[in-house]
A and B are shown apart, each in its own frame.
Chain A
Amino acid sequence: MRKRISTYSFLIVVGFIIMFFTFVNPRFLTWTNFCTIFKQNAILSIISLGITIVMITGEIDFSYGGIVGLVGAIFAGMIEKNYTPISVVFLLLAVAVGFGVMNGFLVSYLRLPSFMVTVGTMFIAMGLERAYSSGLTCWIKNEHLLVIARGEFLGFPNLGWFSLITLLILVWLIYFTRPGSHFRSIGGNEKAAREVGISVTFYKLLAFMLAGFLYGIAGILEPLRVSGAIAYAGQTYLLPALTSVFLGTTMFYLGQYNIPGTFVGAFIMTMLMNGLTLAGLPFYLTPLFQGILLVIAVAIASDRKIKQVKF
């Protein structure tokens, strides 16, 4: 019974939030605004889904805070210097995956704590970004490219499609394939996974690589969305992405990091921010609300009854 209450309590709260925002500003509950939320939400959800893969294996990854910005800065810079977009994309995805390999190697092969390692690699990526861009904003003027992020397909924003496709692929990968089950086994009980012969080190490395790949995609989409690489864009995702992941643990698979939960969590985050903006909340209060949301999400997720199932 308690479990059931927890599952739906959050969605009920969300229902009230939607009603409240609609009451304050009727424009909130329109198809146009729905599309806007999806546009705003896409990059956040792709990043959060990346983190979720790592967290499902029982580790944590903060490096997105640097990688997204680094990839975005180099992308904008190279496009403006007229390199072929497709080769730039491949190069940057390789860079992002390379960061994932580095994280994975340090964490799973050298057994360093992922928390500190990935904070470290986040700053490494940030430093490289700073070296590349000198902290300046680099605008993208190539309209053909910008349309990727701004266009629509079947009346729904492209960015929205990007995030939905990522979601579908990951749901398939994590919940319907054998490697996915290995990820979940390792996060569920590392010793058990090792006992039955799952290569814990390899799959952790793989998780960090996949996450890196997604940060790379997000890093490329971000400057396209805002038509330029704004300095340290990655950092603005630090708090919201983490919050989305924790919000996700209150849905679908209670107390566990999970893919659909993260997606909905990111959506709720964006919706809340969108609603507060429409309601006239000054932008500088955003972190305050995000912080409160994170603490609430963590509190629900660490409910002893849900989380600490002991053997």
Chain B
Amino acid sequence: MDKKKVVLKLTNVVKEFPGVKALKGVNFDLYQGEIHALIGANGAGKTTLVRIITRELKEDSGNIEFMNINLKKISVKEARQLGISMVEQDINLIPFFTVAENVMLGSFPTKAAIIDRKKLNGLAVKFLKKTGKDLDVKRKAYSLSPAEQVFVALARALAVNPKLLILDEPTARMGLSDVKILFTTLRRLKSEGVSIIYISHRLEEIYEIADRVTILRDGENVLTSEISSVSANEIVKAIIGERGVVTFIRKKETVLKEREEPVLVVRGLSGYKFRNIKLEIFPGEVVGLVGMVGAGKTELVNAIVGREKGLEGDVILDGKPITSPYKAVKFGMGVIPEKRKKEGIVGEATVCENISLPILSKIIRFGFINFLQERSYCKKAVEIFNIQTPSLTQKVKYLSGGNQQKVIVARWFLAGKKVLICDEASQGMDVGAKFEIYEFIRKFAKDGGAVLYSTSDIPEAVQVCDRIVVMHRGEIVKEYESTDDISLDEVVLYAMTGKGGQINAKEN
């Protein structure tokens, strides 16, 4: 390779959020005219890193240089003017504006203090052409498909003539034909000297498009390499790291596979983001549902708990169909949601009130809550689950994330539910709290409960679960009947590519 010009150089960048060290001294450099893939598990620090480059976040320490300009005192707006442009994962368009207006947002051309529509549309056509996608610029944005939205956002990013383009999971909502168009465009941009940071979970795409790859794990850059000199297995290893070694030892003796009747049955469930899902969960087992972000896990879980209606198929709990969250809970389902603060806890209420929510009907006497009974019940819960709280009357929002999660676990555990649905149950928690959660989940299963454990943390799933199903692009691509002799790399590979085995680096 020729000696390449470095356009962006990050040295020892540290960023800390309350309670989490998101970046622990990351070094990263980007050549002119290269496509650099940035990959890593959830929470590895990818988003934090790119937000620091676009200046939406400021680093705590470390040095960032873009084309020999120190970015320390540069604002978001100035960074844009310097040519740093990003296509976000959640695309922000204005629904009632036309495609043209969305592309040129914030910089409409004017003539004599009046917006020059002709020029506006002309410019939008020009920038859309650069994206390679053919769209009518007079269409309203709300009529666009998710893939088309990406191209509109890309056109907007190109409107500032970027020198550095950041794409965060642009293909997550795209079909194959659109991916082809996008890649052709990216190659052309590259040949024009634009440097591109490409965030993706899909290994096959990275092999197709990227020149180099950087892997982040727990806020550290663990690998930067030419894509041609690194194998898929090496990448997978770098992503999961040493945690492949079992840290949480499952108590095998608890697993009783009494396969009489499944307690939860999902029959041919289809929705917008998942197709024809079949699942059976038996009492006494923990079933892992794994997949990358955007694989459709969250949507599937939402459908299973009755929050969203599937297009086809049924969810049967104990012989009764679930059609609403109310019914789900009534028939014996407990839910540990992904958005803990928004959907799990009642932040303003006390620890005690949160725990006793599902059993209130049992402790009501003559229309009044029996507070003594409630108190003793909750006291027991706090002890069993080791919830760190100054008192039972503490507002839950003041507890740490891990303890909030334990409150939710305690809530369902003691309410005597048959099925527990966990969605990213250990996200954002420290290791100690994670292990406690794992233990409670194992205990729940041992006592005859059934658990569906949805997570994008694959090593975790392998440790906690008895069985694993892998999702990729809305379909179950692989089922493992046991997690005993499972190859972690293989699970990750299935989750990232939908296929097992080796990936051919040169395959298109």
Could you say which residues of chain A place their CB within 8 Å of the CB of B76?
A: 197
Interface string of A179-201 (1 = CB under 8 A from B): 00110110011011101111000
Bound Cα distance A3, B373 (Å): 56
Find out whether the CB atom of A192 lies under 8 angstroms from the CB atom of B94: yes
Could you say which residues of chain B place their CB within 8 Å of the CB of A311?
A: 90-93, 95, 149
- Does A176 touch B at the CB level, under 8 Å? yes
- Does B181 touch A at the CB level, under 8 Å? no
Find out whether the CB atom of B115 lies under 8 angstroms from the CB atom of A195: no
Bound Cα distance A198, B76 (Å): 11
Could you say which residues of chain A place their CB within 8 Å of the CB of B113?
A: 177
Find out whether the CB atom of A196 lies under 8 angstroms from the CB atom of B107: yes
* Besides A177-B110, A189-B92, A311-B95, 11 new A-B residue pairs in contact (Cβ under 8 A), listed by A number: A172-B114, A178-B110, A191-B92, A192-B94, A192-B102, A192-B105, A195-B88, A253-B96, A309-B96, A311-B92, A311-B93
- Does B101 touch A at the CB level, under 8 Å? yes
Could you say which residues of chain B place their CB within 8 Å of the CB of A182?
A: 106
- Does A118 touch B at the CB level, under 8 Å? no
Could you say which residues of chain B place their CB within 8 Å of the CB of A48?
A: none
Bound Cα distance A131, B92 (Å): 48
Across the interface, A192 reaches (CB within 8 A) one of B92, B114, B142, namely B92
Could you say which residues of chain B place their CB within 8 Å of the CB of A177?
A: 110, 113-115
Could you say which residues of chain B place their CB within 8 Å of the CB of A197?
A: 76-77, 80, 106
Could you say which residues of chain A place their CB within 8 Å of the CB of B94?
A: 184-185, 188-189, 192-193
- Does B183 touch A at the CB level, under 8 Å? no
Instruction: Supply 16 A–B pairs (Cβ within 8 Å), ascending by A.
Output: A176-B115, A177-B110, A177-B115, A178-B108, A178-B110, A181-B115, A184-B96, A185-B94, A188-B97, A189-B92, A195-B92, A196-B80, A197-B80, A255-B96, A309-B142, A311-B95
Across the interface, A309 reaches (CB within 8 A) one of B90, B95, B156, namely B95
Q: How far is the CB of B92 from chain A (nearest CB, A)?
A: 4
Q: Which residue of A lies closest to B75 (CB)?
A: A197
Find out whether the CB atom of A193 lies under 8 angstroms from the CB atom of B106: yes
Chain B, range 63-101, C-beta contacts under 8 Å to A: 76-77, 80, 88, 90-97, 101
The size class of the interface chain A forms with chain B is 20 to 34
- Does A121 touch B at the CB level, under 8 Å? no
Q: How far is the CB of A98 from chain B (nearest CB, A)?
A: 27
Most buried by B among A178, A182, A192, A253: A192
Interface string of A254-276 (1 = CB under 8 A from B): 01100000000000000000000
Find out whether the CB atom of A196 lies under 8 angstroms from the CB atom of B105: yes
Q: How far is the CB of B328 from chain A (nearest CB, A)?
A: 24
Q: Which residue of B lies closest to A187 (CB)?
A: B94
Bound Cα distance A197, B95 (Å): 19
Could you say which residues of chain A place their CB within 8 Å of the CB of B114?
A: 172, 176-177
Find out whether the CB atom of A256 lies under 8 angstroms from the CB atom of B96: yes
Most buried by A among B77, B92, B108: B92
Chain B, range 99-141, C-beta contacts under 8 Å to A: 101-102, 105-108, 110, 113-115
Find out whether the CB atom of B106 lies under 8 angstroms from the CB atom of A188: no
Chain B, range 144-159, C-beta contacts under 8 Å to A: 149, 156
Bound Cα distance A165, B96 (Å): 27
Q: How far is the CB of A15 from chain B (nearest CB, A)?
A: 27
Find out whether the CB atom of A198 lies under 8 angstroms from the CB atom of B95: no
Interface string of A160-178 (1 = CB under 8 A from B): 0000000000001000111
Q: Which residue of A lies closest to B120 (CB)?
A: A181
Find out whether the CB atom of A185 lies under 8 angstroms from the CB atom of B106: yes
Q: How far is the CB of B87 from chain A (nearest CB, A)?
A: 10
Bound Cα distance A189, B115 (Å): 20
Interface pairs A-B: 9 shortest CB-CB: A188-B94, A196-B106, A192-B92, A309-B142, A309-B95, A197-B77, A189-B94, A176-B114, A196-B105
Could you say which residues of chain A place their CB within 8 Å of the CB of B149?
A: 311
Q: Which residue of A lies closest to B90 (CB)?
A: A311
Q: How far is the CB of A4 from chain B (nearest CB, A)?
A: 15
Q: How far is the CB of B165 from chain A (nearest CB, A)?
A: 14
Bound Cα distance A256, B96 (Å): 9
Find out whether the CB atom of A181 lies under 8 angstroms from the CB atom of B108: yes
Bound Cα distance A198, B113 (Å): 18
Bound Cα distance A198, B92 (Å): 14
Could you say which residues of chain B place their CB within 8 Å of the CB of A181?
A: 101, 108, 115
Chain B, range 191-207, C-beta contacts under 8 Å to A: none
Q: Which residue of B lies closest to A256 (CB)?
A: B96
Find out whether the CB atom of A188 lies under 8 angstroms from the CB atom of B96: yes
Given contacts A177-B113, A177-B114, A178-B115, contact A189 B106 (CB under 8 A): no
Could you say which residues of chain B place their CB within 8 Å of the CB of A195?
A: 88, 92
Bound Cα distance A104, B110 (Å): 27
Find out whether the CB atom of B97 lies under 8 angstroms from the CB atom of A184: yes
Q: How far is the CB of B466 from chain A (nearest CB, A)?
A: 37
Bound Cα distance A255, B105 (Å): 21
